[in-house]
């Protein structure tokens, strides 16, 4: 999620090693830049992940929150 | 529903490590402390006003000024609480990013909640601590107070990122809330805690409806036990 609404950082297919490798690299780069990766785990539930869950349909990168 | 056990604490908690983790009991105690503080601010002015009139009736204008102070202080607190979800007026909203962000928000919360956001600027999200109303720069937590009365906690919390669409800001907060509700309430700053009606009158009409719906939802659901650690 960014100023454009959202941007697709990477797309991958679990069976495609090259796409997974590229996605993992992009994922780690975003984490190093301070993003927090989230996956939806059910209705109204989410959890953050530190490694790219290759079998997930969607991984959302969010920015840290803070008290105002 | 943000009612899962704390499988993973919110990473942002590390930035506020001195804060104790918020749970239902701590929330209740903070709410009571908030009420006591307000009473402690108000009572001296009421007492002084009464004493002034009793001792010297000609001091009525000063007594009235004291009473006005006693009335204004809780109002200012409630206004500060309502401000966390007050809608900003943007000079020129960027439509394409906002539309895109709304789409993602709709995927997260469903069409009904997305439409509620469009109408009110708030996304309703049931949680274990109560029913949340999440806005771009803050959230309201509607819960049962003492004697089952409605109580609202106003939280100032945001993503410190410039130029994000408002719907994206809500999505950021919503994801954090869903991942760790207690952590979310720990990271956020409590701006106000008090009776629902005190904040309600400070909100615009659509937001009042959202607050009413959240209060009804809280009344309807059975009390939940303490969170599983």
pLDDT one-digit tens code per residue, A31-63 = 999 999 999 888 888 888 999 999 998 999 999
Give the range among A25-29, B94-98, B102-106, B225-229 with minimum mean pLDDT: B225-229
A66: closest CA of chain B, how far (Å) = 6
Q: Please tell me which residue, B1 or B149, carries the higher pLDDT value.
A: B149
pLDDT at residue B4 is higher than 90: no
Cite the beta strand spans of chain A per DSSP E. Answer: 36-42, 45-49, 60-62, 65-67
Query: Which are the contacts of B14, defined by CB distance < 8 A and separation ≥ 6?
Result: none
CB contact under 8 A, B16 and A36: no
Cα dihedral: B33, B36, B38, B39 (round 10): 180
Distance from CA of A37 to the nearest CA of B (A): 10
Is pLDDT above 90 for B214? yes
Please identify among residues 110-129 of chain B the ones whose CB lies closer than 8 Å to any CB of chain A.
125-126
Of the given ranges (B31-35, B43-47, B147-151), which has the lowest mean pLDDT?
B147-151
pLDDT of B223 above 70: no
Question: What mean pLDDT is predicted for residues B212-217?
Answer: 93
Which of helix, strand or coil describes residue B163?
Answer: coil
Distance CA B140, CA B146 (A): 18
Nearest CB among A2, A36, A66 relative to B15 is that of A66
pLDDT digits (tens, 9 = 90+) for B85-137: 987 766 555 678 888 888 888 888 888 888 999 999 999 999 999 999 999 99
**Which tokens in the block code for residue B178?**
């869903």
Pairwise CB contact (< 8 Å): B159 & A3: no
Strand order in the sheet with A36-42: A45-49, A36-42, A60-62
Mean pLDDT of A19-23: 93
pLDDT at B154: 96
CA angle in degrees (0–180, nearest 5) for B135-B140-B142: 140
Q: What is the pLDDT of residue B138?
A: 94
How do A36-42 and B123-126 pair as beta strands? unpaired
Coil vs helix vs strand at B141: strand
> For residue B3, is pLDDT > 50?
no
Instruction: Give backbone dihedrals phi and psi of A61, rounded to 5 degrees, phi first.
Output: -100, 120
pTM of the model: 0.88
Confidence at residue B43, expressed as pLDDT on a 0 to 100 scale: 94
CB atoms within 10 A of CB A45: 15
CB-based burial label for A9 (10 Å; 0-12, 13-18, 19+): middle
Sequence-separated (6 or more) residues with CB below 8 Å from residue B119: B206, B210
Nearest in space to B80 (alpha carbons), one of B199, B206, B204, B200? B199
User: Does residue B184 contact residue B10 with C-beta atoms inside 8 Å?
Assistant: yes
Mean pLDDT of B36-45: 93
Q: Two tokens at B169?
A: 């800001």
pLDDT of residue B54: 93
Please give the interface size between A and B, counted as residue pairs whose CB atoms are below 8 Å apart: 109
Mean pLDDT of chain A: 89
Does residue B130 come out as left (phi exceeding 0), alpha (psi in the -120 to 50 range) or beta? left
- Residues B159-174 have a mean pLDDT of 89
Residue B226 has pLDDT above 80, yes or no: no
pLDDT value of residue B55: 92
Of the two residues B99 and B142, the one the predictor is more confident about is B142
Interface probe for B, chosen from A30, A35, A44 (most Cβ of B below 10 Å), is A44
So what's the pLDDT on residue B228? 44
């Amino acid at each position: 999620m960014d100023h454009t609404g959202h941007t697709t950082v990477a797309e991958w297919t679990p069976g495609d090693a090259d796409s997974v490798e590229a996605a993992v690299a992009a994922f780690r780069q975003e984490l190093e830049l301070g993003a927090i990766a989230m996956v939806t785990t059910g209705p109204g539930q989410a959890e953050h992940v530190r490694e790219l869950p290759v079998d997930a349909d969607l991984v959302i990168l969010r920015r840290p929150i803070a008290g105002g | 529903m943000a009612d899962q056990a704390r499988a993973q604490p919110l990473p942002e908690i590390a930035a506020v490590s001195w804060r104790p983790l918020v749970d239902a009991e701590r929330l209740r105690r903070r709410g009571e402390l908030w009420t006591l503080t307000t009473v402690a601010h108000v009572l001296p002015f009421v007492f002084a006003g009464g004493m002034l009139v009793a001792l010297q009736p000609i001091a009525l204008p000063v007594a009235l000024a004291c009473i006005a102070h006693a009335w204004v202080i809780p109002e200012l607190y409630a206004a500060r609480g309502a401000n966390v979800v007050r809608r900003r007026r943007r000079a020129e909203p960027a439509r394409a990013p906002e539309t895109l962000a709304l789409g993602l928000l709709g995927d997260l919360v469903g069409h009904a909640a997305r439409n509620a956001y469009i109408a009110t600027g708030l996304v309703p999200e049931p949680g274990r601590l109560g029913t949340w109303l999440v806005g771009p720069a803050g959230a309201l937590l509607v819960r049962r107070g003492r004697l089952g009365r409605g109580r609202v906690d106003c939280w100032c919390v945001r993503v410190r990122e410039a130029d994000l669409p408002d719907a994206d800001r809500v999505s950021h907060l919503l994801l954090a809330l869903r991942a760790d509700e207690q952590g979310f309430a720990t990271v956020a700053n409590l701006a106000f805690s008090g009776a629902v009606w005190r904040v309600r009158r400070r909100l615009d009409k659509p937001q009042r409806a959202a607050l009413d719906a959240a209060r009804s939802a809280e009344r309807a659901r059975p009390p939940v036990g303490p969170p599983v650690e």
